[in-house]
Amino acid sequence: MLEYTKRIDPFTGEEYVQVPFKGLFLTEHPIYNKGTAFPQNERYSLGLCGLMPDAVSTLHLQKQRTYANFITKTDDLEKYIYLMSLQDRNETLYYSLILDHLEEMLPIVYTPTVGKACQQFSHLYRRRRGIYVSVNNIHHVDEILKNASFSNVSLIVATDGERILGLGDQGAGGMGIPIGKISLYIAAAGLHPAYTLPVMLDVGTNNEELLNDPLYIGVRQKRLTGDDYDAFIEQFVAAVRKRFPTALLQWEDIGKNNAFRVLDRYKERVCSFNDDIQGTGSVALGVFLSAMKIKKQKLSDQRFVIFGQGQAGLGISRQLVSGLKAEGLSDKDARNHLFGIDKDGLLIEGMPVSEEQKFLLKDKAMVADWQLADPNRITLADAIKNTKATVLIGVTGQSGAFNEEILKQLAQNTDLPMIMPLSNPTVKAECTPETALKATNGNCLVATGSPFPPVKINEREQVISQCNNLYIFPGVGLGALVAGTPKVTDEMFIAASQALSNMVTPDQLDSGRMLPPIEKIRTVSEEVALAVAKEARDSELGIRKDDEDLRTMIRNAMWQPKYLPYRYAKPDGEIF
């Protein structure tokens, strides 16, 4: 197992990377490869003579060449494949290119295109990335973790592939999500790619189409459940704690039957969080805090209808309760502002619900005098009308669920409703921003889960805020790692939400924007990381440094993709 090492020459002050091999192996390793940018002195000293054309390129020239090839791809999936191939060849060039074209390439390397990639993962598979822990090899998990490319891993993103975006069970194809999420961590928060590890926890799949596909690369059996699933996860976590004791473990796209249990079981034992639950809730709270500045109101002035009570819906509900309590409300009063709608309608006492949904159950007396279309079921339309809802949130994956009738009813309840169709990918959104704005005659605030172009209405162009977890999870992860906290707390996510909202300028708020421009994502991640590190310090969970020292540590931890000089390390450790 290699160790990625960056050093400073004590005599010259030169910053350099210590490389473990020479020659062909150096050009084949995506972390170390510079391609045509290897300078002539390194071509001689590192045994690279004749392995590339004579002309030495700069990183800038390489990006020009690469981008010119990228834009010739006419299909988003082709662009995804091209960028993944680049990542497999040269990670420095890959991340430098993404940072130059962030808004254009984020929808390619992650949602919505990554959803298509996960669906076709077995057919697109080219080169290994990350590790696969399966029901067939879990008993060798210690040896598997030894196969990580580098020994100094500080971030692990793991999925079991059961709930991929709004696309459901994709089995081993779910590996596209940890790979994509780590790309976002690196681009947004500057974690070095050598310190990251995507993991596929292959416990089988219930997707019959995959099981019947001869090209499927995953385990061909139904998913583990119950005690067998829990035992599998326990073995994995125990091995991670042994091999990478200070690493942050992010759970990703795990099915709702397991996600909350896994999160609650390990959040005190390892530094970990679930982005689908906590990250989604935190970025949504950040949007709400910005919206309150536009509306000149408080959270406690709103009535929230959350359509969908899976991980995202419950994560948003939990963060909203925390935000309302921060305004001085009791836990009970805070919950009375929230109305959760699941497949059987409004969550009412007596309904069969999961343990995690119980905190949103409404007393039957509360709805006794409501006017209902069907007395046996309280629909989304019923809830919006009877609660006088001011905020509508969609996390169901049901395209078109927010129809014109629903949206017009919401607009009757308040002068400036908030409409948030957050389901991913784009085709799963509950409505389009254009539909929302037309139904309300342009008088609404809109935030979406996937990227949408601006909408022109009433002779005014409305920018659509993307309620993207990218605004939260990279900064939370970076702040937690810099602070050295043994756990990630709810208070850290609230601090992250507040820091995010505080970055939206008055001019941006006046234009209806509720989040900073995505081009500022590195600055956003820095501010979120600082807020998390300060909260860790103040709660006596993190390193005790003043604010400026913490900021300096965060900035020093953020990798800038550029080529550094290389020096070869002999097997005995002597460098020359």
Q: What angle do CA 556, 573, 3 make, to 5 degrees?
A: 45
Q: What is the pLDDT of residue 216?
A: 98
Question: Quick check: 574 pLDDT over 60?
Answer: no
Phi-psi region of 458 (alpha: psi -120 to 50; beta: other; left: phi over 0): left
Handedness of CA 229, 231, 235, 238 (dihedral sign): positive
Please name the helix (run of DSSP H) or strand (run of DSSP E) that holds residue 290, with its range, or none: helix 280-295
pTM of the predicted protein model? 0.94
Whether 109 and 76 have beta carbons less than 8 Å apart is answered as: no
What is the DSSP code string of 467-503? --GGGTHHHHHHHHHHHT-SS--HHHHHHHHHHHHHT
Whether 199 and 144 have beta carbons less than 8 Å apart is answered as: no
> For residue 211, what are its two tokens?
């099981």
> For residue 423, what are its two tokens?
């389901």
Q: What is the pLDDT of residue 576?
A: 47
Cα–Cα dist 262/282, whole Å: 19
Q: What angle do CA 357, 292, 531 make, to 5 degrees?
A: 75
> For residue 492, what are its two tokens?
């850290």
Question: Quick check: 16 pLDDT over 60?
Answer: yes
* Residue found under tokens 């002035």: 301
102-109 helix and 91-100 helix, angle to the nearest 10 degrees: 120
Q: What is the pLDDT of residue 508?
A: 93
CA 115 to chain centre: 13
Question: What would the pLDDT profile of 178-226 be if each residue is shown by its tens digit?
Answer: 999 999 999 999 999 999 999 999 999 999 999 999 999 999 999 999 9
Phi-psi region of 387 (alpha: psi -120 to 50; beta: other; left: phi over 0): alpha
Question: Quick check: 44 pLDDT over 80?
Answer: yes
Alpha helix segments (H runs only) across 343-489: 380-387, 404-413, 433-439, 473-483
Mean pLDDT of 3-29: 94
Q: Give strand pairing partners of 250.
A: 157, 273
Question: What would the pLDDT profile of 257-315 be if each residue is shown by its tens digit?
Answer: 999 999 999 999 999 999 999 999 999 999 999 999 999 999 999 999 999 999 999 99
> What is the number of H-type helices and E-type strands within the chain?
24, 17
CA atoms within 13 Å, Cβ hemisphere of 162: 20
Mean pLDDT of 556-568: 97
Question: What would the pLDDT profile of 49-96 be if each residue is shown by its tens digit?
Answer: 999 999 999 999 999 999 999 999 999 999 999 999 999 999 999 999
Whether 392 and 420 have beta carbons less than 8 Å apart is answered as: yes
Question: Quick check: 572 pLDDT over 80?
Answer: no
Question: What would the pLDDT profile of 129-139 be if each residue is shown by its tens digit?
Answer: 999 999 999 99
Q: What is the pLDDT of residue 571?
A: 57
Lowest average pLDDT, out of 33-47, 81-95, 186-200, 356-370, goes to 356-370
Question: What would the pLDDT profile of 326-349 be if each residue is shown by its tens digit?
Answer: 999 999 999 999 999 998 999 999
Ordered by where they begin, the domains of the chain are 108-270 (3.40.50.10380), 278-467 (3.40.50.720), 471-557 (3.40.50.10380)
**Arithmetic mean of pLDDT over the chain:** 95
Percent of the chain with pLDDT over 90: 91
Q: What is the pLDDT of residue 459?
A: 84
Question: Quick check: 573 pLDDT over 70?
Answer: no
Mean pLDDT of 539-556: 97
Question: What would the pLDDT profile of 88-117 be if each residue is shown by its tens digit?
Answer: 999 999 999 999 999 999 999 998 899 999
Q: What is the pLDDT of residue 555?
A: 97
Position 397 confidence tier, pLDDT thresholds 50, 70, 90: confident
Q: Give strand pairing partners of 18.
A: 5, 567
Q: Which residues are catalytic?
A: 110, 181
